[in-house]
């Protein structure tokens, strides 16, 4: 540390550690808790992008294995862009929101048609579907070593724990200038690994500090939810991708799924509403009176 950096003025509340002391602490704790994860052995922006999207909603232990399998099936941006969307959805099963798989496929097509190399400017990354500020900053830091504001749950946890130990409802607007000021311009990749690993350790050993974030939202119940029905319908369509499903097939299949969990059957109107929703999002369409992916 050069000793010349300081926190941005008018930071409220005032951070209790100097920027140099905070950074030294994070580097030390991060090195102690370093996780040797497979996506940390590459600088390939495509591979890092895939890992970032997978990790948004899925535990690290589950992504380790699925990430490698994805890259075997779709090893490059071009391979993903040229893949059948149904194959992409099939490979994504169990990794969270299916719309993320379609966004990956669409974004891959845009990258191969609009850029000679994988984009690294924030404005270009943010123009791609499914890529927000955190994902774009992660790609820039881990693939290109570029500094930026990579504010995800583990990073947020560290800043809340060390700089806002008592405060509730801390907004990202308060955190962003601190994250930006602390990010090492010399080793953004290593710096964010340290933050991620220290944050993961904190979440496993103290009451999760990220719950004191204003942006913290408890995940709604999945079992029996609209999201679960959507996921089951996508799986049904994938299983019947050669022949497709009639609306009656969908009603019977979803009703059987719900009844197996002692929940009410799905009405035809509800099934049609789900199908129309998926159709609008590009998951399926009607062909010869059959719903197909």
Contact status, residue 239 vs residue 245, Cβ threshold 8 Å? no
d(CA 26, CA 103): 34
CB of 179 closer than 8 Å to CB of 220: no
Per the annotation, the verdict on 52 as an active-site residue is yes
* Cβ partners under 8 Å of residue 48, min gap 6: 39, 42, 138, 139, 142, 143
By C-alpha distance, which of 101, 47, 34 is closest to 77? 47
Q: What are phi and psi of 290, to 5 degrees?
A: -125, 140
DSSP for 225-281 reads: SHHHHHHHHHHHHHHTTTT-B-HHHHHHHHHHHHHTTT-PPPPHHHHHHHHHHHHHT
Catalytic residue among 52, 90, 91, 152: 52
Neighbours of 57 (CB within 10 A): 12
* Contacts of residue 281, Cβ cutoff 8 Å, sequence gap at least 6: 99, 102
Q: Which two tokens stand for residue 222?
A: 């999945």
**Continuous segment of H or E residues that includes residue 11:** none
Looking at the annotation, which residues are catalytic?
52
């Amino acid at each position: 540390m050069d000793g010349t950096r300081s926190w941005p003025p008018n930071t409220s509340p005032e951070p209790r550690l100097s920027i140099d002391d905070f950074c030294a602490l994070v580097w030390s704790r991060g090195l102690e808790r370093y996780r040797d994860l497979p996506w940390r052995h590459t600088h390939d922006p495509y591979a890092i992008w895939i890992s970032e999207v997978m990790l948004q909603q899925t535990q690290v232990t589950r992504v380790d294995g699925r990430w490698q399998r994805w890259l075997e099936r779709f090893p490059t941006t071009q391979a993903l862009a040229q893949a059948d969307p149904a194959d992409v959805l099939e490979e994504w099963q169990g990794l969270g929101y299916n719309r993320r798989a379609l966004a990956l496929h669409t974004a891959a097509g845009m990258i191969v048609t609009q850029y000679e190399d994988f984009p690294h400017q924030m404005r270009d990354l943010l123009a791609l579907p499914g890529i927000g500020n955190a994902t774009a900053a992660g790609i820039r830091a881990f693939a290109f070593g570029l500094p930026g504001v990579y504010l995800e749950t583990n990073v947020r946890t560290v800043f809340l724990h060390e700089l806002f130990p008592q405060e509730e409802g801390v907004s990202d607007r308060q955190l962003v200038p601190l994250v930006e000021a602390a990010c090492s311009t010399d080793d953004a990749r290593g710096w964010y690994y340290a933050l991620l690993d220290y944050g993961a350790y904190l979440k496993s050993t103290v009451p999760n500090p990220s719950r004191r974030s204003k942006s913290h939202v408890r995940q709604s119940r999945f079992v029996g939810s609209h999201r679960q029905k959507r996921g089951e319908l996508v799986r049904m369509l994938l299983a019947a991708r050669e022949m497709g499903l009639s609306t009656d097939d969908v009603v019977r299949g979803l009703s059987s799924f719900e009844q197996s969990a002692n929940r009410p059957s799905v009405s035809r109107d509800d099934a049609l509403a789900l199908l129309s929703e998926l159709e609008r999002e590009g998951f399926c369409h009607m062909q010869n009176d059959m719903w197909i992916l």
